[in-house]
């Protein structure tokens, strides 16, 4: 069974600010989780242009995060083989990410994202058919909220209370109840997550775990986007790419091609 869910993450940012914030946060979070034994191997990082996505930025990565594997899954397979391969096409404001696991050859996780300058009330931005819409749950993720489930514990590290936080450089915040309908600027990341793990005995459990893990990661990264606003505010995409190049020793780069025009 293929599991599908749409997450809508409303942000107190402009579309242009979010692109910078997202790129900065991804870079910083990868640095924080990279060590000698675990982390992110960046295989490719380059500009692309094709007939499907248009122009954008392509990355290919391998994630080695075995310590975050649920205990129940380690009962089925050895954790050292559970590396994840990611390909991402960032043609902002549209993006697509495909994640596979070499050990589970039939497994695929796809994240399709559309960013819009609204507060999360646009319907069917991904153009799903009726059957897909009937099977797709929609959840609005409030970045001012916190969770205490397993995945939030494993992934989460940001303890900033956004209901009390105010940005020094922008004056934005705090994010009080109902802030999504009042704040300006505002934009939303519409993330459609599709998981296919056709394995008898634990496939459906794996699909649900990945949906829950994805939600926790979306919440953590988007909380960071706002909590770290005073770090990235005023940067350009060119500045972010320059920082990426300077940060190469902090990652496990095998190949790089920094020719992006962003």
Tens place of pLDDT for every residue, the chain, 262 residues? 689 999 999 999 999 999 999 999 998 988 877 666 677 888 998 999 999 899 999 999 998 866 555 555 555 555 566 688 999 999 999 999 999 988 788 889 999 999 999 999 999 999 999 999 999 999 999 999 977 765 666 676 778 999 999 999 999 999 999 999 999 999 999 999 999 988 776 778 888 888 998 998 999 999 999 999 999 999 999 998 888 777 654 444 333 333 332 2
In a domain, 203, yes or no: yes
Any domain includes 97 = yes
pLDDT at site 150: 59
Give the pLDDT score at 139. Answer: 97
- Residue 128 counted as domain residue: yes
Q: Where are the beta strands (DSSP E) in the chain?
A: 2-11, 39-50, 54-64, 84-91, 94-101, 104-116, 137-141, 187-196
pLDDT at 104: 80
> Is the distance from CB of 139 to CB of 7 less than 8 angstroms?
yes
Residue 177 burial by CB count (10 A; 0-12/13-18/19+): exposed, middle or buried? Answer: exposed
Q: pLDDT value at position 246?
A: 77
In a domain, 57, yes or no: no
Q: Say how far apart CA 165 and CA 176 lie, in whole Å.
A: 10
Q: Could you tell me the CATH number of the domain that includes residue 131?
A: 3.30.530.20
Q: Quick check: is 194 in a domain?
A: yes
Asked if residue 85 is part of any domain, the answer here is: no
| Cβ-contact 40, 251 below 8 angstroms | yes
Specify if 29 maps to a domain: yes
Structural domains in the chain (count): 1
Q: How far is CA 117 from CA 9, 14, 111, 229, 232, in A?
A: 12, 7, 20, 18, 20
Q: Do the domain assignments include residue 150?
A: yes
Residue 209 pLDDT: 85
Range of the domain at 33: 2-39+93-108+118-241
pLDDT of residue 6: 98
Structure tokens at 100: 């596979």
End-to-end CA distance of the chain: 39
């Amino acid at each position: 069974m293929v599991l599908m869910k749409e997450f809508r993450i409303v942000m107190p940012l402009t579309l242009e600010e979010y692109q910078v914030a997202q790129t900065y946060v991804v870079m910083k979070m990868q640095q924080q989780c990279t060590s000698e034994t675990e982390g992110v191997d960046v295989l490719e990082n380059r500009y692309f242009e094709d007939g499907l996505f248009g122009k954008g930025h392509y990355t290919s990565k391998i994630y080695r995060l075995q310590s975050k594997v649920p205990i129940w899954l380690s009962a089925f397979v050895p954790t050292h083989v559970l590396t994840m391969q990611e390909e991402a096409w960032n043609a902002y404001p549209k993006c697509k990410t495909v994640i596979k696991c070499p050990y589970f050859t039939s497994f695929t996780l796809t994240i399709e994202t559309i960013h819009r300058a609204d507060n999360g009330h646009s319907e069917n931005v991904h153009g799903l058919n009726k059957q897909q819409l009937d099977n797709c749950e929609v959840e609005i993720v409030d970045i001012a909220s916190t969770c205490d489930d397993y995945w939030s514990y494993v992934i989460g590290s940001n303890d900033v209370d956004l209901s009390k936080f105010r940005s020094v450089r922008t004056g934005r915040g705090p994010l009080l109840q109902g802030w999504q309908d009042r704040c300006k600027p505002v934009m939303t990341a519409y993330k459609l997550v599709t998981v296919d793990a056709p394995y008898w005995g634990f496939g459906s459990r794996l699909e649900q775990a990945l949906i829950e893990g994805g939600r926790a990661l979306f919440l953590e990264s988007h909380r960071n986007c706002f909590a770290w606003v005073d770090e990235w505010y005023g940067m350009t995409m060119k500045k972010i790419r320059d920082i990426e190049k300077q940060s190469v020793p902090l990652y496990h780069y095998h190949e790089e091609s920094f020719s992006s025009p962003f």
